[in-house]
């Protein structure tokens, strides 16, 4: 069910030390809620991304437990503090056990 899952993340390239930056993430996923039925009346099984987390150089930024009420192509916008140059790690976990990751580095001057 989880084909063509593509994370897209927007992180500024540079920041000053201690600056709070805005991060936007989008991942293409149908987020099948488990509530819908197909033409024959059978329930289409739930298949969603159930967890999303962000860390910076290993320190936690945000952790989201997701339910089927999150829309198709889950989108998150949030803020993070960047004390030093480093790398953001974004992780999405799928119901089917797949894990999708994206990394973005930022230069702190």
Partner 1 sequence: MMMDRRDVLVSGTSAAALGMLPWAALAQDAEPEKTLEELIAEFTGGAEVTEGEGIMLDAPEIAENGNTVPISVEAEGASEILVLAPGNPVLPVATFKFGELAGKHAASTRIRLAQTQDVTAVAKLADGKFVRTAANVKVTIGGCGG
Binding site for partner 1 (CB under 8 A): 20-22, 24, 26, 28, 30, 33, 35-37, 54-56, 59-83
Shortest Å distance, C-beta 24 to partner 1? 8
- Residue 30 or 85 having the CB closest to partner 1: 30
Shortest Å distance, C-beta 96 to partner 1? 19
Shortest Å distance, C-beta 98 to partner 1? 19
- What is the Cα–Cα distance from 54 to 7, expressed in whole angstroms? 13
- What is the Cα–Cα distance from 80 to 22, expressed in whole angstroms? 6
- Residue 45 or 83 having the CB closest to partner 1: 83
For the beta carbon of residue 27, count every other beta carbon within 10 angstroms. 21
- Residue 35 or 105 having the CB closest to partner 1: 35
Angstrom distances, CA of residue 69 to CA of 65, 66, 100: 11, 8, 20
């Amino acid at each position: 069910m989880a084909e063509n899952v593509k994370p897209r993340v927007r992180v500024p390239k540079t920041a000053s030390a201690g600056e709070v930056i805005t991060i936007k993430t989008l991942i293409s996923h149908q987020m099948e809620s488990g509530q819908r039925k197909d033409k024959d009346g059978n329930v289409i099984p739930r298949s969603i991304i159930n967890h999303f987390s962000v860390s910076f150089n290993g320190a936690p930024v945000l952790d989201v437990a997701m339910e089927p009420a999150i829309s198709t192509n889950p989108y998150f916008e949030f803020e993070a503090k960047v004390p030093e140059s480093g790398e953001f790690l974004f992780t999405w976990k799928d119901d089917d056990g797949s894990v999708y990751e994206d990394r973005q580095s930022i230069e702190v001057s």
